[in-house]
DNA sequence: AATGGTTCCGGTAACGATACCGGCAACGCT
DNA sequence: AGCGTTGCCGGTATCGTTACCGGAACCATT
């Protein structure tokens, strides 16, 4: 590795002191214009780049943000794109680490970044995580920390998420309006806020229409296609099988769809299906799957903005929680009453 | 931000010198066992974490790898996972930057990381990139650099990619064997190696079966669904329309599929379709789309291994190019001759 | 001629860590 | 007694940068 030019080299060549070069570089007022020009010219020639490490060490900030995500699926990578957008603008570089939904990995990643590599964190917790000590360490160091998407009450930090309850409500109400009577829900892991909130929305909708919730129709299963597939098979083998399923992610909706097709049932006639996330795939399968769309890119941007506010304000922002609105997108999988005179929006 | 404990604090409290603490910390041989224990105990108590910045500054390496990717779609994020796996094992932390297929963004990201944030790069170039000066800067600094997936001859660096030509060949030969006569190809942007290589494979297969390539059936279009959709519409409106399409990515295959369905054509009877990447989505649509699978995770791992070799060997590895084999996965979209007595594997 | 205000610049400490050199005991050996 | 060896430790320079203090040179004012 070739040695890059430093401020010292410039000083030596111009026969001036290091401090003067440093000042000239930062365009400080108390430097002679000629000197400034000479410094600039030479630094250009030597292709001088200030050493970020030395800078960070000196002023105790790195201008890096650590972003910890459980994976990089469609939704999260869109959110990360949003974070990136705003962060770059504000002069931050983001370091993305995926924990692969693994608790251990999450800890390792956090610890690594914590070692003076970043100024703070933007976090979406892994589905496996039930203990938050590694994140609390961040707070002990009084580093800025923002949570997004998967927000948890166990972490007192500013956050941004979508209105999951509303999303769950929209999905469920829509199914009810379509005349479905026995609506099952594939909720995610119990320890995840987004699971419970979407479940709450489901329950709220049932309540509004005076439908008594049936315990057997509420399934907590892992956040993936395979589990959803199996869970759906079990649902469909029940004596009184459900006539609609709401899954709290599209991955799970796909799993459910496969089980439904295998069973020879038709959507939406025999059974209705609504997913969550509105990933591109749901519009490509047949029938298209209704899904609750969330403003992922926007959410990422808000997360980064919150982070930057936290840095600047430095006041306690832990009470701040921004909530964005999701919106149900209706497709064939759940539409059995053709809309007339605008009853279905 | 609370001030973390440093080596100095420990030295002061124990009334010994900084150097001794430093040695004790690194478990050097010439430190008294008692002293060592005392240091360890106190560092535990103070929750001492060595400052990575200071370390990096001193020994001129960061143990970070900059990973530059055009996006984080299914394939690339799988590859990144592979990189992560190996890098973590070897004590490196990866910094992922997505360029969003934008040339300018790629430059900004590279420059940022270049400022002493990383020890080297693992790169997949953006589809927009036609000039490689920003990457050459990396080489001028004699930093390790590995290219992966999207390898380009303009960059003399060790790399790993799949055998794109073979992939293109497999796809095309399969279509020919299925009796398709006019096979079109949606190739990607002309400046991208993977486009041309897959195109070469296509041409090679045609040649093997003595089919004269038709210029009108070779379309260079951008790497996305929308362009592929439009290009396919045009193809299908030709007087002598093709009876099969090979797209060099699944995104494009989806675009093509939409155009085909809209036109009312049936797959595989009226028209055959083969994509590339074997993303999960292709098995979910109806009909399932045949696609060339690539070992993405493995490829990421190899990229990281190459990087680490480059660091250690320090010899010129620019001639090294690992090539992994892709494998066509056949689905309904291209299968109109039912396999019998094993003719189709 | 002494004073004061600018303008410009240099020296030095500091950030947190390591590497190198050298020094002081204690010990064993001739 | 004198010597070298060994075990253990401290001092200091260094990485590249900035912050702070102080000082020289110059001009203008009283």
A80 touches strand C (CB under 7 A): no
Say yes or no for a CB contact (<8 Å) between A113 and B96.
no
Closest nt to B17 (CA→C1')? D10
A60 touches strand D (CB under 7 A): no
H-helix or E-strand spanning residue A69: strand A64-69
Q: How confident is the model at residue B318 (pLDDT cuts 50, 70, 90)?
A: confident
Nearest residue to A185 via CA among A286, A292, A261: A292
Pick from A2, A62, A257: CB nearest B142: A2
Return all residues near B233 (Cβ < 8 A) that are at least 6 apart: B259, B262, B263
What is the length of chain B? 345
Report, as an integer, the average pLDDT of A264-291: 95
Q: How confident is the model at residue B98 (pLDDT cuts 50, 70, 90)?
A: confident
B32 touches strand D (CB under 7 A): yes
Q: Are B284 and B325 in contact (CB under 8 A)?
A: no
CA of A57 to C1' of D17 (A): 9
In eight-state DSSP terms, residue B61 is: -
Integer-rounded Cα Rg, in Å, for chain A is 26
Q: Tokens 């980064």 correspond to what residue? A: A304
How does pLDDT run across A288-302, given as a tens digit for each residue? 999 999 999 999 999
Question: B72: nearest CA in chain A?
Answer: A77
Report yes or no: A142 at the B interface, CB cutoff 8 Å: yes
Report, as an integer, the average pLDDT of A55-74: 92
> pLDDT at position A339, please?
60
> pLDDT at position B342, please?
46
Does residue B58 register a pLDDT over 90? yes
Residues A182 and A199: their CA atoms lie apart, in Å, by 15
State how far residue B293 is from chain A, nearest Cα, in angstroms. Answer: 18
**Strand ranges (DSSP E) for chain B?**
64-69, 93-98, 120-123, 145-148, 159-162, 183-187, 218-220, 244-247, 272-277, 290-293, 321-324, 327-329
Closest nt to A58 (CA→C1')? C15
> pLDDT at position B344, please?
41
Mutation pick from B47, B94, B100, B115 vs chain A, by most beta carbons of A within 10 Å, is B115
CA of B26 to C1' of C29 (A): 34
Measure CA B308 to chain center: 17
Residues A154 and A140: their CA atoms lie apart, in Å, by 15
Instruction: Compute φ and ψ for A328, nearest 5 degrees.
Output: -70, 130
Reported pTM: 0.88
> pLDDT at position A315, please?
66
How does pLDDT run across A210-246, given as a tens digit for each residue? 999 999 999 998 888 999 999 999 999 999 999 999 9
- The answer to which of A238-252, A296-310, B128-142 has the lowest mean pLDDT is B128-142
Does residue B99 register a pLDDT over 70? yes
CA of A73 to C1' of C17 (A): 39
Say yes or no for a CB contact (<8 Å) between A113 and B93.
yes
Concatenated DSSP letters of A112-163: HHHTTT-SEEEE---TT----HHHHHHHHTT--EEEESS--TTS-S-EEEE-
Q: Are B167 and B199 in contact (CB under 8 A)?
A: no
H-helix or E-strand spanning residue A96: strand A93-98
State how far residue B7 is from chain A, nearest Cα, in angstroms. Answer: 14
Pick from A50, A53, A140: CB nearest B56: A53
CA-based max dimension of chain A: 90
How many separate helices (H) and strands (E) can be counted in chain A?
A: 12, 12
Contacts of B96 in chain A (CB under 8 A): 95-96
Concatenated DSSP letters of A155-222: S-S-EEEE-HHHHHHHHHHHHHHTT--SEEEEE--TT-HHHHHHHHHHHHHHHHTTPPP-GGGEEE--
How does pLDDT run across A138-148, given as a tens digit for each residue? 888 889 999 99
Nearest residue to A282 via CA among A263, A257, A299, A302: A257
**Torsion sign (Cα): A21, A25, A29, A32:** positive
> pLDDT at position B39, please?
93
């Amino acid at each position: 590795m070739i040695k890059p030019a430093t401020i010292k080299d410039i000083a030596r060549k111009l026969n001036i002191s290091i401090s003067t070069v440093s000042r000239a570089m930062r365009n400080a007022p108390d430097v002679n214009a000629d000197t400034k020009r000479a410094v600039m010219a030479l630094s250009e020639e030597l292709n001088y780049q200030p050493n970020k490490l030395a800078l960070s060490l000196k002023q105790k900030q790195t201008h890096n943000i650590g972003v910890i995500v459980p994976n990089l699926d469609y939704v999260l990578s869109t959110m990360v794109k949003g974070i990136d957008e705003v962060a770059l603008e504000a002069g931050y570089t983001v370091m993305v680490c995926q924990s692969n939904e693994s608790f251990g990995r999450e800890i390792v990643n956090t610890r690594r970044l914590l070692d003076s590599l970043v100024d703070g964190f933007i976090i979406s917790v892994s589905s496996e995580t039930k203990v938050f000590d590694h994140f609390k360490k961040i707070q002990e160091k009084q580093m800025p920390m923002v949570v997004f998407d998967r927000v948890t009450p166990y972490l007192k930090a500013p956050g941004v998420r979508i209105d999951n309850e509303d999303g769950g409500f929209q999905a469920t109400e829509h199914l009810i309006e379509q005349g479905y009577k026995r609506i099952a829900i594939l909720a995610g892991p119990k320890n995840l806020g987004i699971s419970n909130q979407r479940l709450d929305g489901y329950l709220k909708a049932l309540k509004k229409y005076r439908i008594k919730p049936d315990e057997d129709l509420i399934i907590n299963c892992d956040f993936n296609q395979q589990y959803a597939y199996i869970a759906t098979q079990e649902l469909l083998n029940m004596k009184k099988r459900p006539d609609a399923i709401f899954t709290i992610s599209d991955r799970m909706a796909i799993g459910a769809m496969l089980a439904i097709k295998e069973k020879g049932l038709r959507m939406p006639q025999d059974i209705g299906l609504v997913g969550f996330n509105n990933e591109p795939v749901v519009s490509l399968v047949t029938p298209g799957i209704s899904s609750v769309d969330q403003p992922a890119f926007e959410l990422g941007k808000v997360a980064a903005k919150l982070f930057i506010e936290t840095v600047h304000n430095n006041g306690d922002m832990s009470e701040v929680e921004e909530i964005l609105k999701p919106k149900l997108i209706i497709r064939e999988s759940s539409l059995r009453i053709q809309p007339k005179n605008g009853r279905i929006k």
